[in-house]
């Protein structure tokens, strides 16, 4: 590639400098260099971040090794640290959030892009963007004062009555817990899904719709069978954005998850997430091992995000290939 | 033109001299005493315009870390440094770090029991049982027997504790460790203990919010937070068997009782203190000042500040709901000032 595009070493020195000079004068080379530096900083920051997390978590890595991932005790006084309850809490709350947010978010996006009059769609989009830009602590306050009491008084008793035979919906409900955190996260990420999915749906060429209508589809058939599959990878992109946000959300989760490092089958039980425990304990961590174990948790969160993102990308590739196949057939 | 230039230069020169004279000292640490420290540093700055003391309330753990790293001139903490931390400081700096008590605080049990409006009594045994998860109902004999005449519901107790590492948790668990052998062996004392049961709230406001929102719950908060927000709280039985409600007087009484056995380095816990007027879940909060300063100006300035804090400074405490230091402790600290070199 390098020889094909610029081929600096092979050409003579004189012609080289002249070519370089003219390219510099045109600004192409400068622009290329500057934008390359900007792009490289992204990679550099990621590498620095991992190096820093790796370097500053040496104590727990040596002391606990891989046991760190599967032990469940978190006891700063005795110096015992295990990450499993936090990994569990992070994954469960993100899963609950996506289960709620995906149907609601995509449904709303379809309505706004395909069915609603433009004026309504644009007005609502303004509010959705506003919601997406809201600081997370405000969602936390909303959670504490609205979702938590609702959960304790109405949602939990109702779920127990209907789905109480499942272990997921048993046990005492305090109001805070996995389910509440998941609901608050869902409220936070729905605007992302709606906003991105709506843009993608709107950018589907209108001849696709017209073709579907021309062969006798109803409005809904053209939307559901043609437009949505066409926009599939963009919609999946919005879901991954929502997933990343759910995994890393700190403040709102810390306020409603109950902050108890335990693994429970019940969604009503209090739990803990990685981001929340780092935020809660880092400032007052008194021993070096405690501090470094929290940093190790940061590394775990990084890995978790990395793995889930990778899986998500594989999913995109697989499904978009299949989608393209069915579209052709 | 020339004259203007001369005046401007002169002005710059004077400003430069003034600038050079202004001394700035940086500290960091506990959040609990931040309101009074801000007040003190502000008042002291008014008296000594050339001295500016900056304080960042980043938490006791952070204060200990930063003063050990040497990134601040002094630290502050709600729980005394342990021997390991003192050793780490000694090894890094080749000299010691000194503790100076400044004011006192207390931790109070707060609860939300629908239908109960009277102030409840607690014993250390009951509190330890509740926080161990062994006392699970409000009408448990351990609670009912000390609250005769109160109709306690047969409901489950919802336990609430601090989720963030905090000096408040340290003081509370230090007390529980003294009154319950089981607590001491199973949990112990610390800023973020491994709580056997309960929900975690972030900060005093998080605990208060959860308690307010959850019927039949119990939590613990700092006395000044409870006072400032008019949160009702219960009494706790002290070492002499008297049920005491936390107040500025009962907290100072706990310190006075402990003052007689005050060690020379001031690292003392005053939870479960003797004396019939003492409130049992009380604590000092400390300034951490290096014993050796390379900068004499800073040394003299900090000495001056502590001297003022022990005398006039104490008068600002009660207006902000902090308990004053007892006379005995003030006298002992004045002597200890000579150790700052």
For A189-208, what is each residue's pLDDT tens digit?
999 999 999 999 999 999 99
List CB contacts (< 8 A) between A153 and chain B: none
Per-residue confidence in pLDDT tens, chain B, 341 aa: 566 666 666 555 555 544 556 789 999 998 889 999 999 999 999 999 999 999 998 888 888 989 999 999 999 998 889 898 899 999 999 999 999 999 999 999 999 999 888 899 999 999 999 999 999 999 999 999 999 989 999 999 999 999 988 889 999 999 999 999 999 999 999 888 999 999 999 888 889 988 988 899 999 999 989 988 888 899 999 999 999 999 999 999 999 888 888 888 999 999 999 889 999 999 999 999 999 998 899 999 999 999 999 999 999 999 888 999 999 899 999 999 988 88
Is residue B214 within 8 angstroms of chain A, CB to CB?
Answer: yes
List CB contacts (< 8 A) between B85 and chain A: 286
List CB contacts (< 8 A) between A149 and chain B: 213
How many Å apart are CA B160 and CA A264, to the nearest integer?
18
Question: Which among A149, A255, A283 is the nearest to B206, CB-wise?
Answer: A255
List CB contacts (< 8 A) between B191 and chain A: 76, 284, 286
Q: Cβ–Cβ of A174/B64 closer than 8 Å?
A: no
3-state helix, strand, coil in chain B (%, to 5): 45, 20, 35
User: What are the φ and ψ backbone dihedral angles of B220, each rounded to 5 degrees?
Assistant: -140, 140
**Chosen from A146, A262, A286 to mutate, greatest number of chain B CBs within 10 A:** A286
Sheet holding B97-112, edge to edge: B51-57, B23-29, B74-77, B282-290, B97-112, B217-222, B158-162, B199-201
Using DSSP, state whether B120 is helix, strand or coil.
coil
Q: Are the C-beta atoms of A142 and A184 separated by less than 8 Å?
A: yes
Cβ within 8 Å of B, A 76-95: 76-78
* DSSP secondary structure code for residue B320 in this structure: G
**Would the pTM of this model clear 0.80, i.e. be above it?**
yes
How many Å apart are CA A8 and CA A29, to the nearest integer?
13
List CB contacts (< 8 A) between B187 and chain A: 77
Spatial neighbors of A127 by CB under 8 A, at least 6 apart, are none
Is residue A308 within 8 angstroms of chain B, CB to CB?
Answer: no
Q: Are the C-beta atoms of B211 and B112 separated by less than 8 Å?
A: yes
Q: Cβ–Cβ of A259/B187 closer than 8 Å?
A: no
Environment class of A206 (CB within 10 Å of its CB; exposed 0-12, middle 13-18, buried 19+): exposed
If one counts every other C-beta atom within 10 angstroms of the C-beta of residue A213, the result is: 14
Q: Which two tokens stand for residue A265?
A: 């089958």
Is residue A148 within 8 angstroms of chain B, CB to CB?
Answer: yes
Q: Are the C-beta atoms of B75 and B198 separated by less than 8 Å?
A: no
Spatial neighbors of A288 by CB under 8 A, at least 6 apart, are A59
Closest residue in chain A to residue B81, using alpha carbons only: A286
How many Å apart are CA B128 and CA B199, to the nearest integer?
16
Q: ipTM of the assembly?
A: 0.78
């Amino acid at each position: 590639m390098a020889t094909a595009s610029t081929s600096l070493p092979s050409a003579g020195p004189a012609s080289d400098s002249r070519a370089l000079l003219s390219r510099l004068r045109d600004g192409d080379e400068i622009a290329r260099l500057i934008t390359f530096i900007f792009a490289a900083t992204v990679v550099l920051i990621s590498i620095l971040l991992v190096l820093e997390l790796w370097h500053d978590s040496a104590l727990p890595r040596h002391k606990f090794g891989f046991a760190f991932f599967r032990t469940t005790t978190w006891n700063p006084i005795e110096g015992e640290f295990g990450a499993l309850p936090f990994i569990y809490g992070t994954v469960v709350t993100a899963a609950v959030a996506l289960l709620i947010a995906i149907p609601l978010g995509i449904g709303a996006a379809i309505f706004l892009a395909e069915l609603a009059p433009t004026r309504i769609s644009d007005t609502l989009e303004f509010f959705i963007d506003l919601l997406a830009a809201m600081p997370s602590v405000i969602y936390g306050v909303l959670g504490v004062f609205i979702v938590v009491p609702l959960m304790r008084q109405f949602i939990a008793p109702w779920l127990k009555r209907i789905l109480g035979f499942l272990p997921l919906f048993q046990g005492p409900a305090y109001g805070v817990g996995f389910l509440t955190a998941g609901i608050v996260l869902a409220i936070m990420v729905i605007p992302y899904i709606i906003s991105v999915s709506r843009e993608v749906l709107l950018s589907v060429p209108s001849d696709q719709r017209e073709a579907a209508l021309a062969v006798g589809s109803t409005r809904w058939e053209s939307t559901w069978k043609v437009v949505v599959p066409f926009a599939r990878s963009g919609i999946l992109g919005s879901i991954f954005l929502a997933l990343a946000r759910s995994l890393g959300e700190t403040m709102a989760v810390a306020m409603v998850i109950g902050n108890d490092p335990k693994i429970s089958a019940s969604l009503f039980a209090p739990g803990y997430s990685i981001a929340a425990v780092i935020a809660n304990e880092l400032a007052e961590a008194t021993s070096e091992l405690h501090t470094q174990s929290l940093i190790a948790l940061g590394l775990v969160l990084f890995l978790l995000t990395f793995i889930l993102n990778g899986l998500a990308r594989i999913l995109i590739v697989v499904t978009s290939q299949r989608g393209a196949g069915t579209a052709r057939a | 033109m020339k004259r203007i230039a001369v005046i401007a230069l002169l002005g710059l020169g004077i400003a430069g001299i003034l600038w050079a004279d202004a001394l700035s000292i940086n500290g960091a640490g506990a959040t609990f005493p931040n309101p009074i420290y801000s007040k003190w540093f502000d008042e002291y700055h008014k008296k000594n315009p050339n001295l500016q003391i900056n304080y960042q309330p980043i938490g006791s753990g952070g204060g200990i870390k930063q003063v050990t790293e040497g990134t601040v001139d002094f630290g502050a903490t709600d729980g005394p440094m342990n021997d390991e931390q003192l050793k780490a400081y000694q090894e890094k700096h080749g000299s010691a770090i000194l503790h100076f008590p400044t004011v006192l605080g207390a931790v109070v049990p707060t609860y939300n029991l629908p239908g109960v409006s009277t102030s409840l009594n607690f014993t250390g045994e009951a509190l330890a049982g509740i926080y161990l998860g062994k006392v699970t109902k409000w009408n448990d004999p351990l609670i009912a027997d000390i609250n005769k005449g109160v109709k306690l519901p047969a409901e489950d107790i919802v336990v609430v504790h601090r989720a963030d590492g905090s000096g408040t948790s340290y003081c509370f668990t230090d007390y529980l460790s003294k009154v319950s052998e089981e607590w001491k062996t199973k949990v112990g004392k610390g800023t973020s203990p491994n709580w056997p049961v309960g929900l975690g709230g972030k900060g005093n406001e998080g605990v208060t919010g959860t308690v307010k929102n959850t019927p039949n719950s119990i939590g613990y908060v700092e006395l000044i937070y409870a006072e400032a927000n008019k949160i009702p709280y219960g009494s706790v039985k002290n070492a002499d068997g008297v049920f005491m409600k936390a107040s500025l007087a009962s907290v100072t009484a706990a310190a006075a009782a402990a003052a007689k056995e005050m060690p020379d380095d001031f690292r003392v816990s005053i939870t479960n203190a003797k004396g019939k007027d003492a409130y049992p879940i009380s604590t000092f909060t400390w300034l951490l000042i290096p014993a050796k300063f390379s900068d004499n100006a800073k040394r003299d300035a900090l000495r001056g500040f502590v001297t003022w804090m022990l005398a006039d400074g104490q008068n600002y405490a009660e207006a902000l709901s902090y308990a004053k230091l007892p006379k005995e402790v003030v006298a002992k600290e004045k002597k200890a000032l000579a150790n700052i070199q």
